[in-house]
Chain A
Amino acid sequence: DAGVTQSPTHLIKTRGQQVTLRCSPKSGHDTVSWYQQALGQGPQFIFQYYEEEERQRGNFPDRFSGHQYPNYSSELNVNALLLGDSALYLCASSPGQGGNYGYTFGSGTRLTVV
């Protein structure tokens, strides 16, 4: 049973560019959340998608946007990249929004902005 799959695993971008990260949730999970983890820090919540809609958003600027598809997979888009956007981006899925479960995380995409 495949867990949460994220692609790509590593990415290097230049300041000002745009990036798209992808996530396939664990089988049976329909809710996807995205987190940003800077080096030496805990993950910070970006937003959550359920039924193809953004249900909750953390304290991130509008440069961060997302999408969820009918098959529950999701994308995270970041525009106008800044050096400070360099981090590990984690996707987490769960079976049902509002369900009493912990989240399953993917291994993340490491984004480096130069």
Chain B
Amino acid sequence: QKEVEQDPGPLSVPEGAIVSLNCTYSNSAFQYFMWYRQYSRKGPELLMYTYSSGNKEDGRFTAQVDKSSKYISLFIRDSQPSDSATYLCAMSDQAGTALIFGKGTTLSVSS
């Protein structure tokens, strides 16, 4: 079993839809959780950073962490064609140390 599991998709939605992206993990020591967006031929771009459990909102994006279930989610409201990218979840057990990434979910938003 991989440490971080993420459904690679692809996921296709119409413009304006609410998108839900998820990751599960096996290491209960993970405390820091991140979501990155990666456009084709580019490096990952940090979207959301969460410590421990709870919710965090930033504009159209909401990140949720449920440590009891070892499950994290990213919600995108009012999705736009510019949101079409690969979304990577990442986590670590200590601040500033190695990130463990999921495989990434490819999202396509059609206008």
Contacts and interface: CB of A to CB of B under 8 A. Distances in A.
Whether A associates with B in a native complex is yes
A90 B43 contact: yes
B42 to A, nearest CB: 5
Interface residues of B, number: 27
A89 B41 CA distance: 11
B98 A48 contact: yes
In this complex, the member of B43, B51, B98, B104 whose beta carbon has the largest number of chain A beta carbons within 10 angstroms is B43
Nearest to B50: A102
In this complex, the member of B8, B42, B44 whose beta carbon has the largest number of chain A beta carbons within 10 angstroms is B44
B98 A33 contact: yes
A84 to B, nearest CB: 18
Interface in A57-114: 58, 90, 92, 94, 96-108, 110
> B interface, by DSSP: helix, strand, loop or mixed?
loop
Contacts of A110: 41
Size range of the interface on A?
Answer: 20 to 34
Interface of B: 4, 6, 8, 32, 34, 36, 41-46, 49, 51, 88, 90, 94-104
Contacts of B45: 105
A4 interface: yes
A45 B95 CA distance: 15
28 contacts: A4-B43, A31-B96, A40-B8, A42-B88, A42-B90, A42-B101, A42-B103, A45-B98, A45-B99, A48-B98, A56-B97, A90-B43, A94-B96, A97-B96, A98-B94, A99-B95, A100-B32, A100-B96, A101-B49, A101-B95, A102-B46, A103-B99, A104-B46, A105-B44, A105-B45, A106-B43, A107-B43, A108-B42
